[in-house]
């Protein structure tokens, strides 16, 4: 079920990120390097179309983790 994929979203801990850009290369629809040189998640739901687990596994700083998505409340 695809809903399982969308129940979690990746998040980057800016304190751990070293700005190597690997996650941006791996999942360009999801991650982006900010002006501070750190990666951030620009669209967590885009990971349904790519292989974000690879970005999570390959991050040299272990800065990416999965978090449960906030339930839609509106
Ligand atoms: S792979 Fe990890 S350390 Fe490299 S930019 Fe992405 S979050 Fe930062």
**What pLDDT shows up at residue 62?**
98
- Mean of the per-residue pLDDT values of the chain: 88
Nearest 10 degrees: Cα torsion 36, 30, 42, 7: -130
Pocket, ligand 1, Cβ cutoff 6 A: 12, 17-23, 39, 59-61, 63-64
Average pLDDT over residues 8-15: 95
Q: Is the pTM above the cut of 0.85?
A: no
Q: Which residues pair with 40 in a beta bridge?
A: 32
Place of tokens 């990971």: 47
Q: What percent of the chain has pLDDT over 70?
A: 85
Which of 61, 65, 66 to mutate to test ligand 1, by most ligand atoms within 8 A of the CB atom?
61
As to burial, measured by CB atoms within 10 angstroms (0-12 exposed, 13-18 middle, 19+ buried), residue 31 is: buried
The domains found in the chain, sorted by start residue, are 2-65 (3.30.70.20)
Q: Grade residue 1 by pLDDT with cuts at 50, 70 and 90.
A: very low
Kindly report, residue by residue over 52-65, the tens digit of the pLDDT: 999 999 999 999 99
């Amino acid at each position: 079920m695809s809903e399982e994929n969308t129940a979690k979203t990746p998040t980057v801990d800016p304190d751990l990120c070293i700005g190597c850009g690997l996650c941006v290369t791996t999942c360009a629809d999801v991650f982006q390097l900010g002006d501070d040189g750190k990666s951030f998640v620009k669209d967590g739901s885009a990971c349904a179309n790519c292989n974000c687990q690879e970005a999570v596994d390959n991050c040299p700083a272990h800065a990416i983790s999965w978090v449960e998505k906030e339930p839609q409340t509106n």
